């Protein structure tokens, strides 16, 4: 296995494909919105139609390039390769920043226009197209838009723009790692003359993914996921009613906090089944440790997890500060709940990062592990809990409001995509652990019996 293969050991292709598809849907809706503006309107601008098309083509080509060439060692035309890769990295960073700023400005403009404190979106477009004082003085001008896709683009943007931000993050990191390895000679760790190596490569042992040691965690995780969806539905029903808004906030924080507590408990139990020191401390959770392979360093996925953890911790920090400030002036349960839940977020993110980084380097190696699969219940439950919190972050986080609309909108645009990405990518890493750490083929076969 080459050095680049080890760094890109668990390729981020599933993440890149998922977020790439969401990004292309976002670009498609942008292109559809362009056709709502008639050619005779002062708002008509051909660039507004070309940009989404180019963005969609760029997203698709980059997704295909990452899927096919993420582990490629480039040794020809190294100068052009470095220039091109770094140019695409910079493009991803620009797309990231542009999307955040653009969506934040749109939300702020819509909010101010509803409050009659600022111009409409049509006015902003016209100001960019003309310097006429009649347009500048009139905030209620219209672009004479035709109703083709209705409010689909505006309503779906809060859920789709994080896909573009997260996709840009994946593309920038993967291509930057490829840029660093342009021209480097790969180092392979195997002996080509070893007959055992050749026999293993020519006839790999049969392997199948089974659910041994995962049933309890799987069904408990499904129960958590269903409960989270039910709470989410009730949240949207209650939040629309001013009299039930307080109950909706209680429900959101309580469900989120309950899942976090379950995750923390699961991580502690999982460590008890994987690390001998904690096994001794806990006592009754004592089981034999899995074999640890320090050379299994998943650099890319660990980097993704750490960068996205910064976003979710930043969101938790601002929410905790807001809750504590309200507690000083008004000691009531909702603000205490907000502060406690976000403190739990920080603890859970830290413990989960340690847990995933540790368990990803372990494998079963004893016959007795085949039936028990120590720790697999915990991995399964954590996987489904992270999926449940992904859904919660997509729909519930955008309904909260601290510090006033504009400051909170900016904070949300910076942290929400990273928070969603952290939960989703943690699920992907845990799924990879669930599949690879507990493979039966990792156990060396017993030597054949020799007849006397």
Higher pLDDT, 5 or 273: 5
Q: Please tell me whether residues 370 and 332 are part of one structural domain.
A: yes
Q: Which residues contact 206 (CB under 8 A, 6 or more apart)?
A: 441
Tell me how far apart the alpha carbons of residues 308 and 425 are, in angstroms, rounded to a whole number: 9
Give alpha helix (H) positions in 283-372.
Answer: 299-329, 333-359, 368-372
Q: Which two tokens stand for residue 181?
A: 């390895």
Convert the pLDDT of each residue in 215-258 to its tens digit. 566 666 666 666 666 676 666 666 666 776 677 766 777 777 77
Count of domains observed in the chain: 2
CA 5 from centroid of its chain's CA atoms: 23
450 belongs to a structural domain: no
Q: Please tell me whether residues 99 and 239 are part of one structural domain.
A: no
pLDDT for the residue 398: 59
Q: Please tell me whether residues 152 and 254 are part of one structural domain.
A: no
Determine the 3-state secondary structure of 363 from DSSP: strand
Cβ pair 139, 123 in contact under 8 A: yes
| CA-based nearest residue to 410, from 13, 64, 108 | 108
pLDDT for the residue 282: 31
Q: Please tell me whether residues 247 and 395 are part of one structural domain.
A: yes
Tell me how far apart the alpha carbons of residues 323 and 321 are, in angstroms, rounded to a whole number: 5
Mean pLDDT for all residues in the chain: 69
Which structural domain range is residue 359 located in?
210-442
For 231, 239, 252, 373, 396, the CA distances from 236, given in Å and listed in that order, are 9, 5, 10, 40, 9
pLDDT for the residue 229: 66
452 belongs to a structural domain: no
Q: How confident is the model at residue 389 (pLDDT cuts 50, 70, 90)?
A: confident
Q: Which two tokens stand for residue 268?
A: 């502690």
Kindly report the pTM of this predicted structure.
Answer: 0.64
Q: How confident is the model at residue 332 (pLDDT cuts 50, 70, 90)?
A: low
Among candidate residues 164, 180, 196, the one where a domain is terminated: 180
Convert the pLDDT of each residue in 403-416 to its tens digit. 667 777 788 888 88
pLDDT for the residue 408: 76
448 belongs to a structural domain: no
Paired residues of 363 in beta bridges: 291
pLDDT for the residue 90: 92
418 belongs to a structural domain: yes
Q: Please tell me whether residues 262 and 388 are part of one structural domain.
A: yes
Convert the pLDDT of each residue in 27-40 to its tens digit. 887 887 777 777 77
pLDDT for the residue 367: 63
Tell me how far apart the alpha carbons of residues 403 and 448 are, in angstroms, rounded to a whole number: 70
């Amino acid at each position: 296995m080459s050095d680049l293969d080890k760094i890109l050991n668990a390729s981020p292709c599933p993440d890149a494909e998922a977020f790439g598809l969401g990004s292309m849907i976002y670009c498609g809706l942008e292109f559809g919105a362009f056709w709502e503006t008639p050619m005779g309107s002062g708002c008509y601008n051909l660039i507004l139609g070309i940009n989404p098309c180019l963005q969609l083509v760029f997203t698709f080509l980059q997704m295909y390039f990452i899927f096919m060439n993420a582990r490629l060692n480039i040794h020809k035309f190294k100068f052009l390769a470095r220039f091109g890769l770094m140019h695409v990295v910079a493009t991803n960073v620009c797309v990231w920043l542009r999307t955040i700023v653009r969506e934040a400005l749109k939300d702020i403009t819509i909010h101010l226009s509803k409050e009659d404190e600022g111009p409409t979106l049509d006015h902003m477009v016209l100001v960019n197209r003309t310097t006429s004082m009649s347009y500048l003085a009139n905030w209620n001008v219209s672009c004479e838009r035709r109703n083709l896709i209705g409010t689909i683009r505006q309503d779906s943007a809060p859920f789709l723009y994080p896909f573009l931000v997260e996709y840009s993050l994946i593309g920038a990191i993967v291509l930057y790692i490829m840029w660093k390895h342009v021209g480097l000679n790969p180092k392979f760790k195997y002996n080509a003359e070893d007959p055992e190596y050749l026999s293993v490569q020519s006839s790999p042992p049969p392997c199948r993914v089974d659910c041994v040691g995962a049933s309890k965690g799987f069904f408990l995780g499904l129960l958590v996921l269903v409960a989270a969806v039910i709470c989410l539905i009730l949240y949207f029903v209650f939040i629309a009613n001013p009299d039930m808004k307080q109950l909706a906030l209680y429900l959101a924080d309580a469900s989120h906090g309950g899942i976090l507590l379950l995750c923390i408990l699961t991580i502690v139990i999982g460590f008890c089944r994987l690390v001998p020191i904690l096994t001794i401390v806990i006592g009754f959770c004592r089981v034999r440790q899995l074999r640890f392979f320090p050379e299994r360093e998943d650099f890319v996925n660990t980097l993704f997890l750490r960068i996205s953890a910064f976003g979710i911790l930043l969101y938790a920090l601002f929410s905790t500060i807001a809750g504590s400030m309200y507690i000083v002036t008004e000691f009531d349960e909702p603000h205490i709940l907000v502060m406690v839940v976000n403190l739990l977020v920080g603890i859970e993110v830290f413990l989960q990062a340690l847990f995933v980084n540790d368990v990803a380097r372990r494998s079963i190696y004893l016959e007795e592990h085949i039936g028990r699969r120590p720790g697999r219940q915990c991995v399964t439950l954590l996987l489904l809990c992270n999926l449940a919190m992904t859904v919660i972050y997509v729909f519930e986080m955008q309904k909260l409001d601290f510090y006033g609309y504009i400051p909170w909108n900016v904070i949300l645009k910076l942290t929400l995509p990273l928070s969603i990405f952290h939960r989703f990518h943690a699920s992907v890493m845990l799924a990879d652990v669930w599949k690879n750490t507990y493979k039966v083929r990792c156990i060396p076969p017993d030597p054949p019996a020799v007849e006397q």
